[in-house]
Amino acid sequence: AQSVTQPDIHITVSEGASLELRCNYSYGATPYLFWYVQSPGQGLQLLLKYFSGDTLVQGIKGFEAEFKRSQSSFNLRKPSVHWSDAAEYFCAVGPGGYQKVTFGTGTKLQVIP
Amino acid sequence: DGGITQSPKYLFRKEGQNVTLSCEQNLNHDAMYWYRQDPGQGLRLIYYSQIVNDFQKGDIAEGYSVSREKKESFPLTVTSAQKNPTAFYLCASSIPGGGRDTQYFGPGTRLTVL
């Protein structure tokens, strides 16, 4: 069965500092991987996704993620965090197509001045 | 503009009542999904539908029902059999193939049982 682990429930970073959010997955084949962001009381917005090819994926809002098969990881990074990045971030994994996508429990990001 | 709409944004229900949450999309997506979100638990799949007039149970379907009579619409009914219905409900849709296997989400409905 597929699963996703986001080991950090809550992270606090200073504005302008770099950010890395961790995501580890369990899946038998090459997975489809996603990162979503959610502002309080809102739906989820797709930041980026990986299906195949280049293991470093660029997304919106200056985010990127790297797929590392050997570590079963898909960590999200941003070189310089802005106060508007404060939100909850979800990693997800799935087989593609109409099949079920499994979401992690989320990491809440707080940005301090 | 294409997108997914959910209504209402806030919904209050008395215990023992059924309520229906609306989800409409004009993205021409084949598949639609309902998730429940509780603090610290991420998103859990309730039901999903790949085509009109067909749907499958997700991980937590007990106490919920759905219908898919039109491609654009996938309403969710929270029945009185759902023991703890207070949560944030998210609807999503997707179209597969060619790297487009991505779910797009609506703004959500917050259901509170009084």
Q: What is the mean pLDDT of each run of 10 residues along chain B (114 residues)?
A: 89 92 94 92 92 94 97 96 93 75 91 92
Contacts of B94 in chain A (CB under 8 A): 98
Would the CB atoms of A44 and B90 count as touching at under 8 Å? Answer: yes
Residues of chain A with Cβ-Cβ distance to B99 below 8 Å are: 49, 51-52
DSSP A42: S
Buried-state track A11-49, b at ≥16 Cβ within 10 A, e below 16: bebeeeeebebbbbbebeeebbbbbbbbeeebbbebbbb
Instruction: Confirm or reject contact between A31 and chain B (CB < 8 A).
Output: no
Interface check for A19 against chain B (CB to CB < 8 A): the answer is no
C-beta atoms of B103 and A101 within 8 A: yes
3-state SS assignment for residue A69: helix
Measure the N-to-C terminal CA separation of chain B; round to a whole number of Å: 36
Cβ contact (<8 Å) for B108 and A103?
no
Residues A30, A45 contacting (CB under 8 angstroms): no
Average pLDDT for consecutive 10-residue bins of chain A (113 residues)?
93 97 90 93 93 91 95 97 97 81 94 95
The pLDDT score that the predictor gives to residue A52 is 83
pLDDT value for A8: 96
d(CA A49, CA A56): 10
Question: What pLDDT is stored for residue B45 in this prediction?
Answer: 93
Mean residue pLDDT of chain A comes to: 93
Q: Select the residue of B42, B45, B105 nearest A43 (Cβ to Cβ).
A: B105
pLDDT of residue B22: 97
